[in-house]
C-alpha cells in the first residue's frame, strides 16, 4: 500500500512538471485516482491559462511592448513560483487548492 501512496504523490507532482502538457497526458491516462486527476486538471487550468494569457497579451499591438518588457516576465515569475510550490505540495501528499482555480478544477472533473 505504501508504494501506491508514493506513486500517487509522485504522479501528482509530475502533473505539474511539464506544465499543462503533463496535466493533459495524466488526465487522459489516469481514469480512477482522484488525487492525480485533481492535480492534472489544476495544472491544465493554471498553466494553460497563463500560456494563453501571455499569447493573447503579446498579440495586442498597443500594449505589446509593455507586455514584452513588464507583464510577461512577471506572469512567468509567478508561474515559476507556483510551479515549484505545487509540485512540492503534491509530492508531499497535499491536495493544495489554488483560489478559484482549485474549485474550477474540481467542477471540471465532476463533469468528466
- The model's confidence at residue 4, banded by pLDDT at 50, 70 and 90, is confident
**What is the C-alpha separation between 79 and 73, in angstroms, rounded?**
10
Report, as an integer, the average pLDDT of 23-43: 94
Report, as an integer, the average pLDDT of 2-12: 84
Report, as an integer, the average pLDDT of 45-69: 78
Per-residue confidence (pLDDT) for residue 6, from 0 to 100:
80
Say if 58 falls within a structural domain.
yes
Say if 19 falls within a structural domain.
yes
Say if 81 falls within a structural domain.
yes
Per-residue confidence (pLDDT) for residue 12, from 0 to 100:
95
Say if 65 falls within a structural domain.
yes
Say if 112 falls within a structural domain.
no
User: Which residues span the domain enclosing 49?
Assistant: 2-107
Q: Identify the burial level of 11 via C-beta atoms within 10 angstroms of its C-beta, where 0-12 means exposed, 13-18 middle and 19 or more buried.
A: buried
Say if 28 falls within a structural domain.
yes
User: How many structural domains compose the chain?
Assistant: 1
Distances (CA, A) of 105 to 4, 48, 62, 98: 23, 12, 33, 9
Say if 37 falls within a structural domain.
yes
Say if 76 falls within a structural domain.
yes
Amino acid at each position: 500500500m505504501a508504494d501506491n501512496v508514493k506513486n500517487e504523490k509522485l504522479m501528482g507532482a509530475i502533473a505539474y512538471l511539464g506544465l499543462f502538457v503533463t496535466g493533459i497526458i495524466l488526465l487522459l491516462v489516469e481514469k480512477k485516482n482522484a488525487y492525480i486527476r485533481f492535480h492534472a486538471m489544476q495544472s491544465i487550468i493554471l498553466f494553460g491559462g497563463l500560456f494563453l494569457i501571455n499569447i493573447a497579451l503579446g498579440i495586442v499591438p498597443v500594449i505589446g511592448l509593455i507586455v514584452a518588457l513588464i507583464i510577461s516576465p512577471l506572469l512567468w515569475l509567478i508561474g515559476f513560483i507556483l510551479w515549484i510550490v505545487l509540485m512540492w505540495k503534491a509530492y508531499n501528499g497535499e491536495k493544495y487548492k489554488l483560489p478559484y482555480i482549485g474549485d474550477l478544477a474540481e467542477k471540471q472533473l465532476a463533469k468528466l
